[in-house]
């Protein structure tokens, strides 16, 4: 019955979907019912900061750059060249680490915890040259050399284009700017997905990446749970509605959010979490959540993506294949790919040495799907399983620094010593 209500809410057109541009709604709360956990929302200055301001606020230097992709998207990327209060400033030829956010997120993911808990800051204090990527359609990727952001053409993309254009452009820019021939890549969620694609199919990118650290790795999502699982059954209807009305960025309304919250929120979830779409698709681990930081997380996510990208995730769930976007007919696929069905991505062709960090309670990077990935992925350095972790723990968990980030750093330093010997 609940699922039928979800179908109704999502199928009823204008009453169920905000028909406007600007990304996913940050909240579905009634203005007369503020959540008890966020009484002091206004007292947290980071709520109102952009990524550059967040970095500066914590005492770190930051450089902002614009990267233009081959197909004309302009992506804002951030660099933290050295540590807090000048730490490591004089160190030359620092190893470069590139951090790539996940689905519906942005570069802020790496800098929204305290300075000694955020991966971006920890790396900088360990004398790494840190770069934060953004992809088309998020808060920092809504510009194009020709296309207006409110045009249908601007939003005509999925993770296919992120892997084909965004990631190569950013990595190429970073290596040229730093003068370093190669870098270390750490991705979360969708950031791992575009890595698996590029590191298997793009020789120019492959030669520039020394090692790949995949946090909550995503390729096939055959066993996915959370809100995206329910949306997957409705993706053709959602895509059709948005095509007819000329709306391309994904923006669930309050009604849709309430239905999805009823379907996926557990009794132990903090109420405000159930109003944030990112938590609805990724879950929540209350034991690892710093609840005082929730206002900051929610003010910066979801950071936006296209309807087409969400539909693409839904397609690979339904088809149980890690494949390119399906245009819905043999004729359209033939026109796009010169074959009747979408080409499949081949993770067994990944050529970059990889390490995987995965969680036992992850509803987006489900353990069964990760095990399937591990069976196919060559050039594995190691993998680390955290049995109680969920999808967002890898960016925000209280123990992320000690259980994941320090581990990655130890490995990179060891690899640097090996390469130098």
Residue 230 confidence (pLDDT): 74
Q: Is 244 a residue whose pLDDT tops 70?
A: no
- Domains of the chain are 46-420 (3.40.50.1820)
Residue 264 confidence (pLDDT): 54
Cβ atoms of 214 and 362 closer than 8 Å: no
Which of the two residues, 122 and 22, has the higher pLDDT score?
Answer: 122
Residue 139 CB neighbours (<10 A)? 20
Q: For residue range 364-377, what is the model confidence (pLDDT) as tens digits?
A: 999 999 999 999 99
CA angle 369, 220, 235 (to 5 degrees): 125
Radius of gyration of the chain from its Cα atoms, rounded to whole angstroms: 20
Q: For residue range 95-149, what is the model confidence (pLDDT) as tens digits?
A: 999 999 999 999 999 999 999 999 999 999 999 999 999 999 999 999 999 999 9
Q: Is 170 a residue whose pLDDT tops 80?
A: yes
Which of the two residues, 307 and 332, has the higher pLDDT score?
Answer: 332
Q: Is 243 a residue whose pLDDT tops 70?
A: no
Lowest pLDDT segment from 39-53, 86-100, 161-175, 273-287: 273-287
Average pLDDT over residues 201-224: 96
Lowest pLDDT segment from 24-33, 99-108, 169-178, 307-316: 24-33
Share of the chain above pLDDT 90, in %: 66
Band of residue 420 on the pLDDT scale cut at 50, 70, 90: confident
Name residue, tokens 């509605």: 241
Average pLDDT over residues 88-99: 96
Lowest pLDDT segment from 13-27, 118-132, 397-411: 13-27
- Closest to 64 measured CA to CA, from 173, 203, 146: 173
Which of the two residues, 257 and 268, has the higher pLDDT score?
Answer: 268
Cβ atoms of 299 and 219 closer than 8 Å: no
CA 89, 94, 95, 97 torsion-angle sign: positive
Lowest pLDDT segment from 83-97, 147-161, 285-299, 359-373: 285-299
Which of the two residues, 4 and 64, has the higher pLDDT score?
Answer: 64
Which of the two residues, 71 and 276, has the higher pLDDT score?
Answer: 71
Band of residue 392 on the pLDDT scale cut at 50, 70, 90: very high
Average pLDDT over residues 285-295: 86
Which of the two residues, 165 and 239, has the higher pLDDT score?
Answer: 165
Which residues does the annotation mark as catalytic?
A: 189, 362, 391
Q: Is 27 a residue whose pLDDT tops 50?
A: no
Q: Is 5 a residue whose pLDDT tops 90?
A: no
Cβ atoms of 180 and 416 closer than 8 Å: no
Band of residue 261 on the pLDDT scale cut at 50, 70, 90: low
Which of the two residues, 226 and 358, has the higher pLDDT score?
Answer: 358
Residue 235 confidence (pLDDT): 60
Residue 393 confidence (pLDDT): 96
| Cα 224 to Cα 363: distance, rounded to the nearest angstrom | 5
Average pLDDT over residues 290-306: 87
Residue 290 confidence (pLDDT): 87
Q: Is 51 a residue whose pLDDT tops 60?
A: yes
Band of residue 31 on the pLDDT scale cut at 50, 70, 90: very low
Instruction: Indicate the pairing of strand 63-68 with strand 73-80.
Output: antiparallel
Average pLDDT over residues 59-72: 98
Lowest pLDDT segment from 8-22, 89-103, 266-280: 8-22
């Amino acid at each position: 019955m609940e699922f039928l209500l979800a179908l109704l809410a999502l199928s009823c057109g204008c009453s169920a979907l905000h028909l406007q541009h600007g990304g996913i709604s940050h909240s579905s709360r009634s203005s007369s019912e503020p959540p008890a956990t966020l009484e002091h929302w206004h007292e947290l200055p980071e709520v109102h900061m952009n990524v550059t301001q967040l970095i500066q606020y914590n005492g770190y230097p930051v450089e902002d750059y614009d990267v233009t992709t081959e197909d004309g998207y302009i992506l804002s990327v951030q660099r933290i060249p050295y540590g807090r209060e000048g730490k490591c400033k004089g160190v030359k030829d620092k190893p470069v680490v590139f951090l790539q956010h996940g689905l519906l997120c942005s570069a802020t993911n790496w800098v929204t915890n305290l300075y000694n808990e955020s991966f971006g800051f920890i790396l900088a204090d360990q004398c790494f040259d840190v770069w934060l990527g953004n992809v088309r359609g998020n808060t920092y990727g809504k510009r194009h050399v020709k296309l207006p952001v409110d045009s249908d053409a601007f939003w005509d993309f999925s993770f296919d284009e992120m892997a084909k254009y965004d990631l190569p452009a950013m990595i190429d820019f970073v290596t040229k700017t730093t003068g370093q021939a190669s870098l270390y890549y750490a991705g979360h969620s969708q950031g791992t997905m575009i890595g698996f694609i590029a590191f298997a199919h793009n020789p120019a990118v492959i030669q520039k990446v020394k090692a790949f650290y995949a946090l909550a790795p995503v390729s096939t999502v055959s066993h996915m749970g959370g809100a995206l699982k329910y949306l997957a059954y409705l993706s053709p209807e959602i895509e059709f509605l948005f095509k007819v009305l000329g709306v391309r960025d994904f923006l669930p309304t309050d009604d849709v959010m309430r239905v999805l919250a009823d379907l996926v929120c557990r009794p132990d979830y903090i109420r405000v979490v159930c109003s944030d779409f990112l938590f609805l698709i990724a879950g929540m681990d209350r034991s690892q959540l710093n609840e005082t930081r929730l206002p900051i997380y929610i003010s910066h996510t979801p950071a936006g993506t296209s309807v087409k990208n969400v539909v693409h995730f839904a397609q690979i769930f339904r088809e149980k294949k890690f494949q390119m976007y399906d245009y819905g007919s043999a004729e359209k696929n033939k026109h796009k790919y010169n074959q009747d069905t979408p080409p499949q991505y081949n993770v067994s062709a990944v050529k970059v040495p990889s390490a995987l960090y995965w969680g036992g309670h992850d509803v987006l990077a489900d353990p069964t799907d990760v095990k399937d990935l591990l069976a196919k992925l060559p050039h594995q350095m190691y993998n680390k399983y955290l049995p109680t972790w969920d999808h967002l723990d890898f960016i925000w968990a209280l123990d992320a620094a000690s259980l994941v980030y320090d581990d990655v750093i130890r490995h990179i330093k060891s690899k640097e010593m090996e390469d130098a010997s």
